[in-house]
Structure 1
Amino acid sequence: MKRMTFFLGSLTLAASAAGLSLLPAAQAASKPTIKLGYVQSWPSSNITTHLAANIIRKRLHNPVQLVASSAGPMFEAVASGHSDGMLTAWLPSTHKTYYQKLWMKVVNLGPNLTGTRLGLAVPKYVPVNTISGLEKHASKFDGRIVGVGAGAGINMNTKKAIKAYGLKHFHLQTSSTAAMTAQLKRAISRKKWIVVTAWTPMWMWAKFDIKYLKDPKNVYGKGGHINTLVNPKLITKAPAVYKFLHRFTLSSAQLQKMMLSVKNGHSIKSVVAKFVQNHPKQVKSWLD
C-alpha cells in the first residue's frame, strides 16, 4: 500500500510540474491575436511595427499578425476593426486627409516619435535652395520630381506643391522608396541634378549629402510627429497591449540607426532583437 501511495503521489507531482511548464504556452494560446497595419515599403513603418510586434509577442505573449498595405487602406482597416492598430500616422500634415475622415472611429494614443519633417530635397551640389527655384531649371531635372509609392501622403503634398509654386514644367514620378533612393544614389554618383521627396527620419540623410528645399508656403507643414492609432475595441480586447502601445516611443536617432542597419544588409528581425537587448530600461518603461 505504501508503494502504491508513493507511486500515486509521484504521478501527481509529475503531472503538476508538467502543467506548470505548459502554463505560459497555454496562456499565450488563450490570448487574442493582435493585428497591426503597416506600409512594408516605408522603412520607418516597417521597423517600428516589427519592434512593437516583437514586444507584444515575447513580453505580453499575444500572437501578432502584421497586415501590409498602402497608407489609405491601413487607416481604413484600423477604423473598421480589421486591424487593431497602426504606428504610422504622420500628423498633423502628411496624413491629414486620412485622419480628418476617420478620426472619430479611432483612438489616437499620441506620438511614438517626434521631430518629423517632410519636403523636397536635392544634392548639396545643386545650386537651388527653394521649391520655387526649381522651375527655371526644369530641363536639368528632366521635369520630374521622384516620389515614392502611390497613396503616400508626401506624394499628395508634392502635387499640391507643384501647383502652389507654379512648377508648370514638372510632374511627379511615383515609384517606391527603394527605387527613389536608387535613382538618388545613381544621380549623385554622376553629379546629375535630381529632386526627390524626402522625410525625416530616414536613413538617406546619413548616407547622402543632400539638403531640404525651403518651403515658405508650408505646403509640407512645419514638422510634426508619427502617432499610434488603435481601434476603440482594443482596450477591452487586450488591455495590456493597449497600455504598451500608449507608452511606446522612440527617438528619431534610434529609428534612423536601425534603418541604416537594415539598409546595410541586416534583417529587420535581427535589428529589432538587438535593440530590445541593448535597451532593457526603455523596454521596461513601455511595460511597467
Structure 2
Amino acid sequence: MSDVPAAGGVPADPAPQGYNVPGRKPDSQMPWEFFMGGASHRLIAFKYGISHPRSRLYCNNTPIKTIIEEAGLGDTSHLFPDELLIRPDIADVSLRKLFEIKPWHERALQEGREEARKYLAALNRTIRDGRLFTGGTDFHGEILIRFAAGQYIWRLEWKTSEPGVVQYQWTRSKKPFDSEVAAYRDAQWVDLSVEELRQYGGWVEKAVEGMISRREKLATVSGTVGMVIDLIGGVATIVLWSAIQGQMGSGAQQPPSQGGGQVIPFPARPPSIASPARVPAAAGMSLSP
C-alpha cells in the first residue's frame, strides 16, 4: 500500500487540516487526503473480496514476506531487503492477480504502474512452481454514500485503467436527493470541493473502517453487487446489497438490512470514468495513501 498522500488532480494543502472526529485525539492533524485515501482503499479492496468470495486475499496492510510465507508461495530468501515490508493493495493468491489502487490522475497512474511492477517482480522471484502473478484486469464498480436525507449523495467510482492498476474518483450528485436510488437514476455527478472533502473526510473514513471491520467477521455473501453508507446524525451505517439483480423480484420484497440503512440492488453498468489524461485539474482528488 502506498505511503504518499494523494486523491485526484489537485495537490495536498501545505498545512493539512485536522478533524474533530469521535475516537480521534483532539490534536490530530491527519490531513483529509489520508482520510479519503484510506476509505477508498478499504472500500475497493473489500468490494473485490465480495466479488471473489473463493479467493484467498491479502489487502492493504500485509507485508509481501508474510503473504509468501502464509500462502506457501515460495522462498522468501529471494526477496531483496527493501522488498520485505512492501504491501500490495490487493494480492489475490488464488487467482495470482495483483492490483494497486490509485486516485484518478496521470501521476498516480505512473506511480501505480511502477509499484505493481515492483510487487510482481518480488512475488514472482520467490515462486518455486506453479503460476506466476500478473496484473489484474476488468475490476470496476461504484459505491454511494448518503450523509442525510435531502442532501447530496457521494459516489466512489473505480475501474482498472491498465493491468495491475485500479484508479478511483469521488464525485457527488449534482443536486440533493432523499435517497440513493433517486441519485443513481438521475446519474448526474459533479466534482467535490476541497471544503466538502475536509468537512466529511474524517467521517467517511470512520464509517468505512468501523463498518467493514465488523462485516469482515461475517461470512461474505456470494453475488453481492454493492453497498451503501449512511451517515445520519453522526451515526454511520454501511449496508451490503445481499441479492443480485433479479433475485429480489419486482414487488415490495426487501432483504433484511444489516444494521440499518437501505438495501438497493443497483444493476451493473460499464464504468464511466474518463482517461486520466482527460480529467480536468480540479476533478477528483489527489489521494494516494
Q: TM-score surpassing 0.5?
A: no
TM-score normalised by length of structure 2: 0.28
Larger relative helix fraction = 1
TM-score normalised by length of structure 1: 0.28
When Rg is computed on C-alpha atoms for both structures, the one with the higher figure is 1
